[in-house]
């Protein structure tokens, strides 16, 4: 067969499916995986197909889900276990091709162009992939097939998930009859804001966008307009890259706080902890950063407030004190003095920490060594083996965070 053959393999209700696979007695029961409601982060992370029949949706509040389905079995997430299963699925996919690119914890791209002589035609390979994943993990996978990543993603999200076989092949030939009639908001890369703009322009379907004059789209949105037009026409040249997550452009850490933080001193403690975590991860990758970004969101969800600002430092660093100094200055400058419910810190413009700019007024090398020694202590004895004194206050979240992965129970 000529041309590329790309799969997007998506795990159905991933977290919930793993829990049901581990507990067969839940097979026919509505299962939802949700955060801890007592800490105001009781959000539905996954709902099995049985729960979805009651109208339960991912990302809605747990109390809303229980109103729709009072008999739902609520399970707290086990994030480390889910990541382990995701890695096991990657290993399964790599039996079919060495070109596997994780897109998220429950979605992975595969380039099977060169695998067909060994494993059969694309539909045969897709069925084999489904069978292996279900047999070894108990998770049901859907497979979108296309000549590129874009069409594979559209095929999976809009057709494979609704197909009885869980497989759909979207080609340049059937694209006009299947993809073009879809609402323009279904196109990968079109968010809610862009969708509103396109609707106001009279563009309601993907086909309408594909046939809209390119020069007008470019005049309004520049290169982004060109990319939109290419996507609507099924054009995507991005390769499946196994090393996608090895070329990180930024390192960040965000936290939703367990309560409203009103006092400057309390916010300062959490911001310092976030800087500590970002720097630890930067050192883990042996990188430093030039730019620090700080984001904050207010406590009132009905009338959201907050900001996201950044500043570039004179020299790149992965030292907690240096990054916190910049982050705290940013926060004080843009904080509206209203209660804060979430905070985030990001380090970008990354470069290697193997070489660094010498400074006449401080020992940069010693700072680096201190950071790595602290990391080694935490790696050997646990993340709370050494903490800053401020983390022992009521405002500190280091000990609570150590129990979690990705903001949820390990």
List the domains of the chain with CATH numbers. Answer: 14-78 (3.40.1170.60), 180-232 (1.10.150.20), 248-409 (3.30.1490.100)
Compute the distance between CA of residue 197 and CA of residue 190 in angstroms, rounded to an integer.
10
- CA dist., res. 124 & res. 45, Å (int): 32
Please give the pLDDT value at position 406. Answer: 54
User: Which listed residue (19, 60, 94, 107) is catalytic?
Assistant: 107
Q: Has this prediction a pTM greater than 0.75?
A: no
Residues of the chain where predicted confidence (pLDDT) is lower than 50: 1, 40
Neighbours of 215 (CB within 10 A): 11
Binding-site residues from annotation: 10, 106
Question: Is 107 a catalytic site residue?
Answer: yes
pLDDT attached to residue 201: 95
- Buried (b) or exposed (e) across 69-78, using 16+ Cβ within 10 A? beebbebebb
List binding-site positions for Mg(2+): 10, 106
How confident is the model at residue 388, as a pLDDT? Answer: 78
pLDDT (tens digit per residue) in 199-258: 999 999 999 999 999 999 999 999 999 999 999 999 999 999 887 655 567 888 888 888
Provide the pLDDT for residue 237: 93
Give the model's pLDDT for residue 257. 84
Structure tokens at 284: 């883990």
What's the confidence (pLDDT) of residue 40?
Answer: 41
Output the six-digit token pair for 273.
């902890």
- Contact indicator for 340, 255 with CB cutoff of 8 Å: no
């Amino acid at each position: 067969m000529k041309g590329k053959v790309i799969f997007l393999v998506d795990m159905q209700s991933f977290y919930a499916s793993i829990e049901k696979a581990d507990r067969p007695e839940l097979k026919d029961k509505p299962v939802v995986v949700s955060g801890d409601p007592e800490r105001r982060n009781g959000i539905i992370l996954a709902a099995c197909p049985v729960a979805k029949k009651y109208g339960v949706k991912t990302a809605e509040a747990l109390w809303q889900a229980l109103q729709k389905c009072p008999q739902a079995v609520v399970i707290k997430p086990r994030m480390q276990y889910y990541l382990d299963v995701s890695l096991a699925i990657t290993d399964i996919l790599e039996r079919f091709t060495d070109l596997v690119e994780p897109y998220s914890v429950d979605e992975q791209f595969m380039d099977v162009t060169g695998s067909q002589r060994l494993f059969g035609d694309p539909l045969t390979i897709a069925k084999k992939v489904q069978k292996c994943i279900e047999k070894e993990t108990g998770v049901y996978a859907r497979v979108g097939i296309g000549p590129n990543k874009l069409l594979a993603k559209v095929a999976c999200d809009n057709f494979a998930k609704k197909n009885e076989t869980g497989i759909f092949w979207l080609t340049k030939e059937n694209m006009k009859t299947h993809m073009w009639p879809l609402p323009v908001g279904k196109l990968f890369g079109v968010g809610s804001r862009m969708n509103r703009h396109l609707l106001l322009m009279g563009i309601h379907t993907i086909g309408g966008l594909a046939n809209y004059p390119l020069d007008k789209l470019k005049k309004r949105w520049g290169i982004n307009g060109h990319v939109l037009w290419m996507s609507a026409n099924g054009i995507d040249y991005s390769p499946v890259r196994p090393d996608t997550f090895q070329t990180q452009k930024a390192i960040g850490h965000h936290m939703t706080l367990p309560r409203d933080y009103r006092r400057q001193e309390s916010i300062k403690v959490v911001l310092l902890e976030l800087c500590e975590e970002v720097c630890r991860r930067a050192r883990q990758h042996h990188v430093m950063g030039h730019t620090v970004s700080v984001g904050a969101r207010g406590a009132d969800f009905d009338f959201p407030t907050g900001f996201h600002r950044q500043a570039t430092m004179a020299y790149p660093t992965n030292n907690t004190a240096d990054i916190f100094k910049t982050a705290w200055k940013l926060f004080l400058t843009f904080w509206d003095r209203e209660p804060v419910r979430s905070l985030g810190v990001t380090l970008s413009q990354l470069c290697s920490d193997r070489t660094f700019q010498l400074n006449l007024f401080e020992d940069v090398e010693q700072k680096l060594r201190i950071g790595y020694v602290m990391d080694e202590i935490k790696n050997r004895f646990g993340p709370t083996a050494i903490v800053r004194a401020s983390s022992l206050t009521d405002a500190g979240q280091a000990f609570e965070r150590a129990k979690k992965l990705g903001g949820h129970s390990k």
